[in-house]
Structure 1
């Protein structure tokens, strides 16, 4: 990497009209600037676009660069500011789009929501079908029939504490199952 002394020489040459010196600066800092922006944006195409804006700004504002400071710090500050400008602009666009959606939405679920509901229902049914019979009965009585723990205990002829323990164990197992299922892994029951 060039030292700040070499950077200052290149800057001086660019200010005197030497375009090739500017190309050297671009070649030196292009990867650094793109990586810096990418770490903030996480989008390659947008990082490239912002990088181009950075170098256009550097070229147009090079006469304002103060040689008391490191050139690398100056160009990184420009990159940071351009990236923050982009994020602010993008956030405003995103917020206004969300507001537009809220105004036009109805009570009817969206097709994506219906599909997600169906998929979730399938996953839950698959989980329940893999349970022991007694656990299935507890879940069905509790959710389908809205039966109290006390009444489930009487129906199944087991203690109320056993019903609660099994119920919460199944519920916790479902959370784990759903987490693993979302990651695309199987869950052994």
Structure 2
């Protein structure tokens, strides 16, 4: 096994700062998909997401000597990714598999429903249409709501992690997530065929 693959994130950071610049490639390998996915959900364009991801890793590489490990490297990376994506949206003036928006894994956090391992062609088409609707609804959210949905419901981060990324208390994080989800549910209800009957009843209750 390659030496760098056995190191944890902090050890890799320390190695890079100590002069082993090539070890940064392992950090990129570990997180490039998550950074790209976060940028794509925030900015909606594949081309923009690729540019943002490159900018994020460049910023992180340059900033590693100032990283003090007061939080996890992944938290630091997400913070840079979110700030970079938001800066990109401001300069321009300006999704995920279908999620059950009404089941919580952590005091209000939603969990992704397991997919049918062998969906029928019709079911696959319906799921594709639902995904397109969900992506469009997320893209239409205000940035402050979109970032909450992306961090919590797309990336599955905990309230604590989100608080560290956005420099917010957990109570504030929870209330902002609830508001963002309420807005998203309201917008999705405009699509009469998005929710199943049971989900529609729950959504209407909020």
TM-score range, shorter chain: 0.3 to 0.5
Larger Rg: 1
Higher helix share: 1
Instruction: Give the structure-2-normalised TM-score.
Output: 0.42
With a CA cutoff of 8 Å and minimum separation of 6, indicate the structure with the bigger relative contact order: 2
